[in-house]
Amino acid sequence: MNQGSILPLRLAEVSFTVGGPAIIDRVSLEIDAGPSTIILGANGAGKSVLMRLMHGLLAPSSGRIEWSSPERPGAPRKQAMVFQRPVMLRRSAYANVAYALKIAGILEPRRGALVREALDSVGLSHLARRPARVLSGGEQQRLALARAWALHPEVLFLDEPTASLDPSATREIESVIKAFDAAGTKVVMATHNLGQARRLGDEILFLDQGRLVERAPVVEFFARPKSEQAAAFIKGELPWT
């Protein structure tokens, strides 16, 4: 591992409960640099919550979540997250990306260069001056990716980034994610779309009712799922992929 890397990320017996049954139930795992990880599972399996726990947006009810080098509060983050529905500030596309860099403490002129590079990498340079919130859903999601990309995070979490997009916008997003993966960013993505998992993933973490049921390389997972739940999920979802 290169020095100062935040990976691997270790979860030990992590649970998350808000009254009622556990949403995440005693999950232990380690996430290392390299292959992209897909968190797969049905709606309500706990994919989003697990990512929010990893990313630090939620605190576990019990168990431990440890990055190899812990984040100092207030220091620039080495991880970023793209949500299902992008949240854009009421300013231009350019300013939205610049905002993230400003919070990370990156000063001009480097900031401007990074913004332009990031917008370019998602093909939005021509819309830089447009107010972000009037862009289409697909464009906003690409902008969200640019905003994350500009920070050059070590780990990029993606929470069903294409769930509310049409097929052509989905293809564009997927190609951007592939480019990030190829550039060495560790991609951790939640999805319930099997086709997408196959296209973008190297390994699968399969969640069912808050429990980590299975972890396997993509090819193996789809060819020979070890658990009953995974087999049923693959069978049930196939017609729609």
Partner 1 sequence: MSEALTAAVEMLVRLDPKLVEIVLLSLRVSLSAVAISALLGLPVGAAIAVGRFPGRQTVIVLLNALMGLPPVVVGLLVYLLLSRAGPLGALGILFTPLAMVVAQSILILPIIAALSRQAIDDAWREYEEQLRSLGARRMNAALTLLWDTRFSLLTTILAGFGRAAAEVGAVMIVGGNIDGVTRVMTTAIALETSKGDLPLALGLGMILIAIVIAVNAAAYLTKELAQRRYG
Give CA–CA dist 94/38, Å, rounded.
Answer: 30
Question: Nearer to partner 1 by C-beta: 185 or 229?
Answer: 185
Cα gap 237→204, rounded to integer Å: 15
Tell me if 99 contacts partner 1 by CB under 8 A.
yes
Provide, rounded to whole angstroms, the least separation between the CB of residue 141 and partner 1. Answer: 13
Peptide bond between residue 167 and the one before it cis (omega within 30 degrees of 0): no
Q: Which of 1, 28, 44, 76 binds partner 1 (CB under 8 A)?
A: 76
Question: Which tokens is 159 given?
Answer: 């929470």
User: With binding defined as CB under 8 A, does residue 18 bind partner 1?
Assistant: no
| CA–CA separation, 169 and 140 (whole Å) | 10
The three-state secondary structure class of 11 is strand
| Residues 135 to 154 in contact with partner 1, rule: CB under 8 A | 151
Q: Interface with partner 1 includes 91 (CB under 8 A)?
A: yes
Rounded to a whole number of angstroms, the minimum distance from the CB of residue 147 to partner 1 is: 8
Nearest to 167 by CA among 126, 201, 125, 195: 195
Rank residues 57 and 223 by Cβ distance to partner 1 and give the closer one: 57
The reply to whether 52 sits near partner 1 by the rule CB under 8 A is yes
Q: Can you tell me the distance from the alpha carbon of 8 to that of 31, in angstroms, rounded to the nearest whole number?
A: 5
Does residue number 238 form part of the binding site for partner 1 (CB under 8 A)?
no
Q: Establish if 156 lies at the interface with partner 1 (CB under 8 A).
A: no
The pair of structure tokens assigned to 99 is 């905002």
Is residue 83 a contact residue for partner 1 (CB under 8 A)? yes
- Residues 68, 144: contact at Cβ < 8 Å? no
Q: Nearer Cβ to partner 1, position 20 or 74?
A: 74
> Which chain residues interact with partner 1 by CB under 8 A?
52, 55-57, 74-77, 80-81, 83, 87-91, 99-100, 103-104, 131-134, 151
